[in-house]
Chains A and B, each alone.
Chain A
Amino acid sequence: MSLNRKDLLGIKDLSVDEIRLILETAEPMKDITRREIKKVPVLRGKAIINLFYEPSTRTRTSFELAGKYMSADTINISTSTSSVVKGESLRDTGKTLEAMGADIIIIRHAAAGAPYLLSKYVSASVINAGDGFHEHPTQALLDMFTIKEKKGQIEGLTVAIIGDILHSRVARSNIWCLTKMGARVRVIGPSTLLPPEIEKLGVTVYTNVEEGLIDADVVMVLRIQLERQQKGLFPTIREYARVFGINAERLGLASPDVLVMHPGPMNRGVEIAPEVADGIQSVINEQVTNGVAVRMALLYLLAGGGNPHETVI
């Protein structure tokens, strides 16, 4: 079985079988990342371009290493040092990269829908590495992989997502993915940071963090951005930390073997207390490790690879 699609633009359009395929393919990929010589030749001769219109460390590096571990040629373009500052349109940038032979373009963009637009312009595969408040599908996939690895399965788990849901692509992709996989999803946040009609996505909404945490199997803490406070969406960082910050005491309300996740980068002492971020229930670093494996799986499948167990890697 292979992934029968050109692009990965969001979780919303993925089937459960496709999600399972990506997660299963990521398992042998994770083994590769643990080898002494982390190199397999499966994407040799493929050109992968990281086109990042927003700053990023972990996602960009993760994709770059994923490509390199599989012997692809990976190139990073950050827009501050490219023709984008000269006013080049997304269409022209896409066409230019395609003309140079790009096989896969990974795009991060502040505007929702930009990967969708790019995918219409180019015949190369397009992977959404985060677009506006819309989706961040590989983050959700690596979160699924991490939960599955730790809990054995996703179905039936109660997952609480806490923070700025309104501006979070991570939350949206995770809501799609978790609900498709059969988890119960709660979203928790200040009322000014909850998107309209979010409950129609099949989640339960809480503005009281204690209530939302009760018996949760997984707690996903989102980054709170200072910019939101400046726009008046909540009064102070201090009050946010007091009312919504996840500390050890609050975490005690969740299931005893709760997993604590964070997509990073963290504001320690704001949305997450240091003792929680570094506590035994935290799988934040494993998320990063798994991110490489999941992205390897995705690149491999989009490049036309079949079941890796049947291939010599």
Chain B
Amino acid sequence: MKLLFKDGRVIDPGNNFSQIADIMVDEGRISAVGAGLRPDGAEVIDVKGKLVFPGFIDMHVHLREPGLEAKETIATGTRAAAMGGFTGVACMPNTKPVIDNQAMVEFVKSRAASAGAVNVFPIGAITKGSAGNELAEIGDMKLAGAVAVSDDGHPVMNAQMMRLAMQYAKMFDVPVISHCEDLNLVAEGVMNEGYYSTVYGLKGISRAAEEVMVARDIMLAELTGARVHIAHISTEGSVELVRMAKKKGLKVTAEATPHHFTLVDEVVGGYDTSTKVNPPLRSKDDVKAIKQGLHDGTIDVIATDHAPHTLEEKDVEFNYAPFGMVGLETAVGLAFRELVRPGLLSVEELARKLSLNPARILGLAKGHLGVGADADITVVDPELCEIVDVNRFATKGRNTPFKGWELVGLPVLTIVGGRVVMRERQLVI
């Protein structure tokens, strides 16, 4: 099956290519890129006026399978990814049981192969059961296909444990993804500490709760020489710490989520539990710093931290609700709204944050549109407008504070390995 994408603006920073061109896909790979390609029996898809990106990769997703299928499954989570323009997702290991060994990694891969709509890249746990006490079998998991290790949701509080994990993971060239949160400093907090936590009467989570661990892990990255990726940074101080680490030449990368570059803590005011997220929504100054970090390259990646929960789990008192919001189906629209349209990111830079950089960090031969590359392609219509309607979501989660928002700039085609999985805002799988 051959596909020819005609007259789109091809944005491929990995090959320093950004111009109107055609792309031919054959046998799941890109077979030609250039002007005026002949169909040669291929199905022609007109993408004139649209942006043709290397397939977006969300390196921070909770697919919840196994064990938490009421929240999400690999089938529904990857369909949400397809709807959101993501051709690949890296899934976090905080399932039940935790993905902390080779058999679990293989389970995720096999479920993804049979039920998934997009590529799934499993992330293994750093420690057994993500309990923070003993190293998980990182080598074994890497050989089974894990792309990184992380105890996301359960920060490794013991600095010596983290140091050993970094030393050990480095041996296999596996990046360590750190969820930075000092649990003692969090002290049962549920929202950003500041004026609004005072007004709303909710326990605050200080910026320092995140920053002390960002600082710690940067120092450990320096000590061990390991590749360390800081997940979902949310504060001005964290951005500054990562900036300093990069200046020093450490192998430190960082991601930010769409909600952290879009929303401020004031929105917690209605006690809407879809605004309860970890790390919490921060202040205006923090949002500004995150945007600046994305703009100047301090923050390498936009990742969603897609965290679906059931309605009944979220429809409770704010203190009792689990942390997290869904993000796969709103991320691209929010990136256009907050970053591309205001001129903070060019579309080329967006392609780096959503595709090339996550591919590089995870060691995937993806993220570009060169001849011979896997035909993972995301096409975005920069003018297409849609109101966020949770009832049309492919994810099982409805926990988003963006319901009813108008988003302009949405994916209209998601192609995974040469196969169309989403077309004109409809799943075709």
A residues lining the B interface (CB < 8 Å): 12, 89-91, 109-114, 116-117, 131-135, 169, 172, 195-198, 200-201
A113, A133, A197: the one within 8 Å of B194 (CB): A197
Which residues of chain A come closer than 8 Å to B235, judged between CB atoms? none
Contact between chains at B271 and A12 (CB < 8 Å): no
- Cβ proximity bits B183-206 to A, threshold 8 Å, 1 near / 0 not: 000000000011101111111100
- Residues from chain B with a CB closer than 8 A to the CB of A131 are 201
A-B contact pairs, 16 of them (CB 8 A): A89-B316, A112-B202, A112-B318, A112-B319, A113-B201, A113-B317, A113-B318, A114-B317, A131-B201, A172-B198, A172-B201, A195-B197, A195-B198, A196-B193, A197-B194, A197-B198
Does any Cβ of A come within 8 Å of B315's Cβ? yes
- In the assembled complex, which residues on chain B have CB atoms less than 8 Å from the CB atom of A109? 317
Q: In the complex, A109 Cα to B317 Cα: how many Å?
A: 10
Instruction: Specify the chain A residue showing the minimal Cβ separation from B321.
Output: A111
The answer to whether residues A89 and B312 also contact, given A117-B317, A196-B193 and a CB cut-off of 8 A, is yes
- Given that A89-B315, A90-B317 are contacting pairs, would A112 and B200 also be in contact in the complex, using a CB cutoff of 8 Å? yes
B249 at the interface (CB under 8 A from A): no
B405, CB-defined interface residue at 8 Å: no
Nearest neighbor of A91 in chain B, beta-carbon distance: B315
In the complex the two chains form, is A111's CB within 8 Å of B317's CB? Answer: yes
State whether B316 touches A196 (Cβ < 8 A): no
Indicate whether B320 reaches chain A with its CB closer than 8 angstroms: yes
**How many whole Å from A34's CB to the nearest CB in chain B?**
35
- Select the residue from B194, B201, B316, B319 with max chain A CB neighbours within 10 A: B201
B270 close to A (CB within 8 Å): yes
**Chain A nearest CB: distance from B45 CB in Å?**
46
| Among candidates B270, B315, B316, B320, residue contacting A116 with C-beta atoms closer than 8 Å | B270
**Measured between alpha carbons, how far is A135 from B198 in the docked complex, in Å?**
11
Q: How many A-B residue pairs have CB under 8 A?
A: 64
Task: Decide if A132 touches B201 in the complex (CB within 8 Å).
Answer: yes
List B residues 221-249 near A (Cβ within 8 Å): none
- Is the beta-carbon distance between B318 and A111 smaller than 8 angstroms? yes
Q: A109–B319 Cα gap in the complex (Å)?
A: 11
From A166, which residue of chain B is reached at the shortest CB distance?
Answer: B198
**Contact of A200 with B201 at beta-carbon distance under 8 Å, contacts A89-B312, A132-B319 already known:** no
Q: Is the CB of A196 within 8 A of B271?
A: no
A196-B201 CB under 8 A given contacts A113-B271, A116-B270: no
B198-A201 in contact (CB<8A): yes
The listed residue (A133, A169, A172, A197) touching B195 by CB distance below 8 A is A197
Residues of A within 8 A of B200 (CB): 112-113, 134
- Seed contacts A117-B271, A131-B201, A169-B201; 16 additional CB < 8 Å A-B pairs: A89-B316, A90-B316, A91-B315, A110-B319, A111-B317, A112-B318, A113-B271, A132-B202, A133-B203, A134-B201, A135-B201, A172-B198, A196-B197, A196-B204, A197-B198, A200-B198
Residues in A neighbouring B193, C-beta threshold 8 A: 196
Q: Which B264-303 residues have C-beta < 8 A from chain A?
A: 270-271
B202 to A, closest residue via Cβ: A112
Whether B198 pairs with A196 at a CB distance below 8 angstroms is yes
Instruction: Output the least CB separation between A135 and chain B (Å).
Output: 7
Q: Report the minimum CB–CB distance from B282 to chain A (whole Å).
A: 13
Known: A132-B319, A196-B193. A112 touches B271 (CB 8 A): yes
In the assembled complex, which residues on chain B have CB atoms less than 8 Å from the CB atom of A201?
198-199
CA distance A266 to B88 in the complex (A): 60
Chain A neighbourhood of B197, CB < 8 A:
195-196
Chain B hits for A90, CB < 8 A: 316-317
A residues in contact with B204, CB < 8 Å: 196
Is the beta-carbon distance between A112 and B198 smaller than 8 angstroms? no
**Chain A hits for B320, CB < 8 A:** 111
With A112-B200, A112-B201, A169-B201 as contacts: A200 and B195 at CB distance below 8 Å: yes
The interface residues of chain A lying within 8 Å CB-to-CB of B202 are 112-113, 132-134
The residues in B between 155 and 197 inclusive whose CB is less than 8 angstroms from any CB of A are 193-195, 197
Contact, CB under 8 Å: B317 / A196: no
Q: Which of B197, B198, B320 has the most CB of A within 10 A?
A: B198
Least CB distance from A194 to B in Å reads 9
CB distance from B197 to the nearest CB of A (A): 7
Which B residues are in CB contact (< 8 Å) with A200? 195, 198
Compute how far the CA of A109 lies from the CA of B199 in the bound complex, rounded to whole angstroms.
Answer: 17
Chain A residue at smallest Cβ distance from B270: A116
* A-chain residues with CB within 8 Å of residue B194 when the two chains form the complex: 196-197
Pairs of residues from A and B, 3 with the lowest C-beta to C-beta distance, nearest first: A134-B201, A113-B271, A111-B317
Q: How far is the CA of A110 from the CA of B194 in the complex (A)?
A: 20
Contact at A198–B198, with CB atoms within 8 Å? Answer: yes
User: Smallest CB–CB gap between A187 and chain B, Å?
Assistant: 11
A89 to B310: give the CA distance in the assembly, Å.
Answer: 14
Q: Given the complex, which residues of B lie within 8 Å of A117, measured CB to CB?
A: 271, 316-318
Residues of A within 8 A of B201 (CB): 112-113, 131-135, 169, 172
Q: How far is the CA of A172 from the CA of B202 in the complex (A)?
A: 12
**Residue in B closest to A12 when the chains form the complex, CB atoms:** B199
Which has the most chain B C-beta neighbours within 10 Å: A91, A114, A131?
A114
CB distance from A78 to the nearest CB of B (A): 17
Which residue of B200, B203, B204, B317 has the most chain A CB atoms within 10 A of its CB atom?
B317
Q: Which residues of A contact B198 (CB under 8 A)?
A: 172, 195-198, 200-201
Q: How far is the CA of A132 from the CA of B315 in the complex (A)?
A: 18
Q: A89-B312, A132-B202, A169-B201 are in contact. Are A111 and B319 (CB under 8 A)?
A: yes
Report chain B residues within 8 Å CB of A91: 315-316
Closest to A118 in B: B317
Residues of B contacting A89 in the complex (Cβ-Cβ under 8 angstroms): 312, 315-316
Chain A residue contacts of B317, Cβ below 8 A: 90, 109, 111, 113-114, 117
Q: Which residue of B lies closest to A136 (CB)?
A: B201
| Chain A residues within 8 Å of B270, by CB | 116
Bound Cα distance A131, B271 (Å): 12
**In the assembled complex, which residues on chain B have CB atoms less than 8 Å from the CB atom of A169?**
201
> In chain A, what residue has the closest Cβ to B196?
A197
Q: How far is the CB of A23 from chain B (nearest CB, A)?
A: 24
CA distance A137 to B199 in the complex (A): 14
